[in-house]
Chains A and B, each alone.
Chain A
């Protein structure tokens, strides 16, 4: 079974430029997450999707960040314009809601490392 696939793995841009990250979750996983991981820190949730619906985007800085999950499968995370402080690893994860309602363990992609100069 293929894991969570993310691209690009690395991206270097100048501040004020736009950037987009793509995620393909594990087949059959209806829940998709975008996490931000700063160096030496644990991941922090940006947004969570249940199928096509963003059910928790309270931590997403909506002035410059946007995300979409068309058709409830792949997702993109966009930053426009990027700032120096956005340099981090952006992790995508997916999970499958199990009987009883709980989400089940998350499976993470390898992440997209963003450097803003």
Chain B
């Protein structure tokens, strides 16, 4: 059974600081996704990482994937209040012809002015 673990689960950081959220998964994977969720809102797709060494950046967020280590990171540069949200990673694995997208428990990020 595929397990996806994120850490930290809660993160409170000051504006302007840098930090990294980690996503570990238990078996080989085909694809990895990062999503953002604001309170009471839907999940918004941030990044899709398709191969080992993939790196994608959008604004102050950068995601990377190391399939050998089964690890993805979401790096936040010079945080601003608008980035406060819950961030989920999700791992996609082909399993006997069925694709299963398994989500981590999420990292609740709070940016303090």
Contacts and interface: CB of A to CB of B under 8 A. Distances in A.
A41 B106 contact: yes
A45 B98 contact: no
A110 B39 CA distance: 11
Given A55-B98, A102-B30, A105-B33, A110 B103 contact: no
Residue among A4, A44, A45, A106 with the most chain B CB within 10 A? A106
B43 interface: yes
B92 A40 contact: no
A108 B31 contact: no
Contacts of A108: 35, 42-44
Contact of A42 (B30, B42, B105): B105
Interface residues of B, number: 24
Contacts of B41: 110
Contacts of A4: 42
A107 B48 CA distance: 12
Given A102-B31, A103-B99, A107-B45, A42 B92 contact: no
B25 interface: no
Given A55-B98, A103-B92, A43 B45 contact: no
Q: Which of A41, A45, A105, A108 has the most chain B CB within a 10 Å cutoff?
A: A105
Contacts of B104: 42
Interface of B: 4, 30-31, 33, 35, 40-45, 48, 88, 90, 92, 98-106
